[in-house]
Every structure is written in structure tokens, then in C-alpha cells.
Amino acid sequence: MTIFQKIIDGEIPAEKVFEDADVLAFRDIQPQAPHHVLVIPKKPIVSMAHATPEDDALIGKVMRIAAEVARDAGLEQDGYRLVTNIGKNGGQSVYHLHIHVLGGRQMTWPPG
């Protein structure tokens, strides 16, 4: 079981900014920007590499909620970044699909 499943199940605390039946958004415990939220499906999809066609609507919703989280944080005018890391080389450390919402500072490209 991943740490994000424990957050979904309420076994460990998180600073939630959005929750409904399908999606949860909470603040990253080690923020990499002034605003850093993780948006996850409650369904335990390992990563985008594990998504199936039946997940299309759910993942679309996760992405829309990520944009709403950014809008609610006032990030839209200056911009922000949505990122999902996949596997070892992608830098994934928690194997439950999540979208990072990063904002409040200038992002660089390419990412390190």
C-alpha cells in the first residue's frame, strides 16, 4: 500500500484542498515551489504508464481539478506547471498516479 492510499483512507493526515468521490488534492509535504499541491485519483493507478482506456474520464477529471486548484490559488495569471513523474528515470517516488501543481515562482526548462 502506498502512502497516498493511507492518506485516501484517512490513516495519515494531509492538508487537503479538494476532495470528492473520485479525486483528492493535498499539499506536498516537501514543497518545491511556494504553491505545491498533489492531485490524485482515489483509484490506485500506479502511473500514467498504467492507465487504461477505462481511466480516460477519471484522468481527464484529475487534470481539470488540477487546473481548478491552480485557479483557486490565484496562479492562473502568472502561470504554473502540471507535472507527472513516471518510474525511476522520471523521478517517481510514490507509485500512485499524481499530478504536481507547482506555482508561485518562475519554472525552468528543461527540468533537472
| Nearest CB to ligand AMP, comparing residues 40 and 53 | 40
Please give the single-letter amino acid code of residue 89.
N
Q: Applying CB under 6 A, what is the total number of residues that bind ligand AMP?
A: 13
Collapsing DSSP to helix, strand or coil, 47 comes out as coil
Q: Are strands 99-103 and 35-41 parallel, antiparallel or unpaired?
A: antiparallel
Among 83, 93, 103, residue whose Cα is nearest residue 39? 83
Among 40, 85, 99, 103, binds ligand AMP (CB under 6 A): 85
65 binds ligand AMP (CB under 6 A): no
19 binds ligand AMP (CB under 6 A): no
| Nearest CB to ligand AMP, comparing residues 10 and 53 | 10
Round to whole Å and give the CA distance between 97 and 40. Answer: 6
User: Whats the size of the chain, residue-wise?
Assistant: 112
Q: Does 98 participate in catalysis according to the annotation?
A: yes
User: By the criterion CB under 6 A, which residues form the site for ligand AMP?
Assistant: 3, 12, 14, 26, 28-30, 38, 85, 91-94
